[in-house]
Amino acid sequence: MVRREKSNYTIQAVAHALDVLEQFSGDGELGVTELSKRLKLHKNNVFRILATLESRGYIEQNRSTENYRLGTKCLQLGQMYIHHMGFLQQARPIMVDVVRSCRESAYVAVMRKGKVVPLDMVEADQPVRIVSHVGENLPLHCTAPGKVHLAFEPAEEIQRSFPEFLEQYTENTITDRNVLTEQLRAVANAGYAIDNGEYLIDVRTVAVPIKDYTRTVVGSLAVSGPSYRIQPARLEQEIVPLILKAGRELSSRLGYNA
């Protein structure tokens, strides 16, 4: 039996759809006319491809300009790839090193449906330590990883995910949207977020964003411990520099180039 080249099985309609998607790699928004010129396809064919991709969430239309841009489904696929093929695999040894250095627990998390979800954790070897939150849906506004995602996600995603009601979990929880918004600006400037007993009393956490080769935030890396051990001076002098360095290393391993 003669094997045929896989290129002989190419479905032209699928190839054209992928060609359309790939045109958005360096451009924010594109219109039907521009795509038609670039790909030398009839406008009607381009429109039908865009309509199909839009119905599945891979493309979305800016109603004010009528141009198109990549949809959230593309981001989800990219995140799934990173998570399955690299994110957790690359994060594990870095978390181990962080825990070995500071003897506090470390974990990585992602944002899903308006919540932050820890995916993996390395616990400290201390008698009193923060134990696994893996798989839990944690609030965005009062956890360090949640604040990281709110501060570094694209503006459209932040608008969708920003909680309408800021539930109070402890006496330290920020429940004023203006105060939280101001803090998120500070997080974006500093490159890290702190939860000062805002979700769990007497627990202090610091988190940094993790970016991949597309410069997209694909997750967060956090260090967490009891407040009596992570005092403000230790936080600033030891924990923050440690987690910032670890975050840069993990992002670099995922292809991010600052």
Q: Domain residue spans in the chain?
A: 6-70, 74-253
* φ and ψ of 204, to 5 deg: -120, 135
Are 106 and 121 a contacting pair, CB within 8 Å? yes
Q: How far apart are CA 56 and CA 98, in angstroms?
A: 40
Topology of the domain covering 74-253: Beta-Lactamase (3.30.450)
Domain 6-70 has CATH 3.10.180.10: no
Q: Give me the residue label for tokens 């203006």.
A: 178
Angle separating helix axes 32-39 and 43-55, nearest 10 degrees? 120
| φ, ψ at 161 (rounded to 5°) | -95, -20
What's 236's DSSP letter? I
Integer Cα distance of 92 and 100 in angstroms = 12
Q: Collapse the DSSP code of 195 into the 3-class scheme (helix H, G, I; strand E, B; otherwise coil) and give the result.
A: strand
Same fold, 6-70 and 74-253: no
**Helix/strand/coil percentages in the chain, nearest 5:** 45, 20, 35
Q: Can you name the residues that pair with 222 across neighbouring β-strands? A: 107, 207
Per-residue pLDDT of the chain (258 residues; tens, 9 = 90+): 445 565 567 788 898 988 888 888 666 788 899 999 998 999 999 999 999 999 998 899 988 888 998 888 887 776 666 555 578 888 999 999 999 999 999 999 988 878 888 888 888 887 777 776 777 888 999 999 999 999 987 766 666 767 778 889 999 998 988 898 899 999 999 999 999 999 999 999 999 999 988 888 889 999 999 989 999 999 999 999 999 999 999 999 888 876
Count Cα atoms within 13 angstroms, Cβ side, for 242.
Answer: 24
Q: Are 178 and 231 in contact (CB under 8 A)?
A: no
CA dist., res. 35 & res. 141, Å (int): 40
Phi/psi-derived region of residue 110, left when phi > 0, alpha when psi is between -120 and 50, beta in every other case:
beta
Closest CA to 133 of 207, 242, 229, 217: 207
What are residue 30's phi and psi, to 5 degrees? -140, 150
pLDDT computed for residue 145 by the predictor: 94
